[in-house]
C-alpha cells in the first residue's frame, strides 16, 4: 500500500474531504441497516442505470424527470464495506493535500462533477441496459488525477514487504499513479469482472481530474497568493 508524505505543515481548515468522508460513511450505514430487499431497492432508486443518456431525447427525459441526478447520488452508495473502505482510504490520501491546495469549494466541485462524468462514461461504455453503477470510485479517480496534475513531483511512501520485514520507501507519485492508470486501462478491456467493476468510470474520472486541475491552476495559484498575503 502507499500513503502520502506531507512536505510541510499547513494550517488551513479542511472541511470538504471530512464532509465527504462522513457522508459516504453515513450513507453506507443507513443502507446497510436495511433488509437485503431494501438495499437493492435503494440501489435501483438512486444508483446510475446503464443503457441511457446516449441521445438528446434521453438527456431531455432525464432532465425532466430528475433521473440525471443519479449520476451524483450513485456516488454515495456502495455494495459492501470493502468497496467503501477502498474509496475512503484513497480519498484521504489524495483528497486532503488536493483540498489544501485547491480550497474546499473547488475540491467539492471536483469530486461531484468528476464523479458524475465518470458515471456517465460507465453508462455509455457498458452496453447492457439496466445495470446499476454505484460507488465513489469515479469521483476518487478524479481526485487522484487532480493530485497528479497539482503535484507532479510529489513522492509517496510505499510499504514493501521484504522477507520478514516491512520496508518504507519513497517513490515518485507519477510512477505509482501511472501504474494504477495502466491497470485500469488493461482491466477495462480484458480484466476481471467487467460490468461488476466500472473500469471506464475510473479512467474517465482520472482524466477529468487532470483536466480540471490544469484548467483551474491559475485560479488556485491566485488563491494561494491571497492566503499567504502576497
Where residue 38 sits, what CATH number does that domain have? 1.20.1540.10
5 in any annotated domain: no
94 in any annotated domain: yes
Q: Given this model, what pLDDT does residue 86 score?
A: 92
183 in any annotated domain: yes
State residue 161 phi and psi, 5-degree precision: -80, 115
At CB < 8 A and 24+ separation, what contacts does 212-217 make?
212/110, 212/113, 212/114, 212/142, 212/145, 212/146, 213/102, 213/110, 213/145, 213/146, 213/147, 213/149, 213/150, 214/149, 216/102, 216/106, 217/149, 217/150
Average pLDDT in the chain? 87
Q: Given this model, what pLDDT does residue 224 score?
A: 85
Residue with cell 494561494: 224
6 in any annotated domain: no
CA distance 17 to 37: 31
192 in any annotated domain: yes
In 3-state terms the chain splits into helix, strand, coil percentages (rounded to 5) of 65, 10, 25
For residue 59, is pLDDT > 90? yes
Chain centroid to Cα 116, Å, comes to 10
50 in any annotated domain: yes
Kindly report which listed range (1-5, 145-149, 175-179) carries the lowest average pLDDT score: 1-5
For residues 58-81, give the mean pLDDT: 94
Q: Given this model, what pLDDT does residue 5 score?
A: 47
For residue 11, is pLDDT > 80? no
For 182-199, the pLDDT digits (tens) are: 988 888 776 544 446 778
Range(s) of the domain holding residue 19: 14-227
Q: How many domains does the chain have?
A: 1
For residues 78-94, give the mean pLDDT: 94
3 in any annotated domain: no
Amino acid at each position: 500500500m502507499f500513503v502520502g508524505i506531507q512536505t510541510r505543515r499547513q494550517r488551513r481548515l479542511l472541511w470538504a474531504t471530512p464532509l465527504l468522508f462522513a457522508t459516504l460513511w453515513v450513507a453506507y450505514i443507513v443502507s446497510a441497516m436495511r433488509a437485503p430487499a431494501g438495499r437493492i431497492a435503494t440501489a435501483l432508486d438512486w444508483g446510475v442505470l446503464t443503457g441511457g443518456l446516449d441521445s438528446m431525447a434521453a438527456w431531455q427525459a432525464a432532465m425532466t424527470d430528475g433521473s440525471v441526478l443519479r449520476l451524483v447520488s450513485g456516488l454515495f452508495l456502495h455494495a459492501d464495506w470493502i468497496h467503501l473502505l477502498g474509496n475512503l482510504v484513497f480519498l484521504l490520501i489524495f483528497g486532503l493535500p488536493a483540498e489544501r491546495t485547491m480550497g474546499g469549494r473547488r475540491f467539492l466541485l471536483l469530486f461531484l462533477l468528476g464523479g458524475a462524468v465518470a458515471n456517465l462514461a460507465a453508462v455509455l461504455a457498458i452496453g447492457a441496459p439496466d445495470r446499476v453503477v454505484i460507488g465513489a470510485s469515479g469521483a476518487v479517480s478524479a481526485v487522484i488525477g487532480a493530485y497528479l496534475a497539482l503535484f507532479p513531483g510529489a513522492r509517496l511512501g510505499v510499504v514493501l514487504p521484504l522477507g520478514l520485514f516491512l520496508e518504507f520507501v519513497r517513490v515518485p507519485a507519477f510512477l505509482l499513479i501511472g501504474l494504477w492508470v495502466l491497470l485500469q486501462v488493461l482491466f477495462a478491456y480484458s480484466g476481471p469482472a467487467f460490468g461488476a467493476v466500472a473500469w471506464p468510470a475510473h479512467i474517465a474520472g482520472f482524466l477529468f481530474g487532470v483536466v480540471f486541475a490544469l484548467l483551474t491552476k491559475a485560479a488556485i495559484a491566485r488563491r494561494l497568493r491571497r492566503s499567504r498575503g502576497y
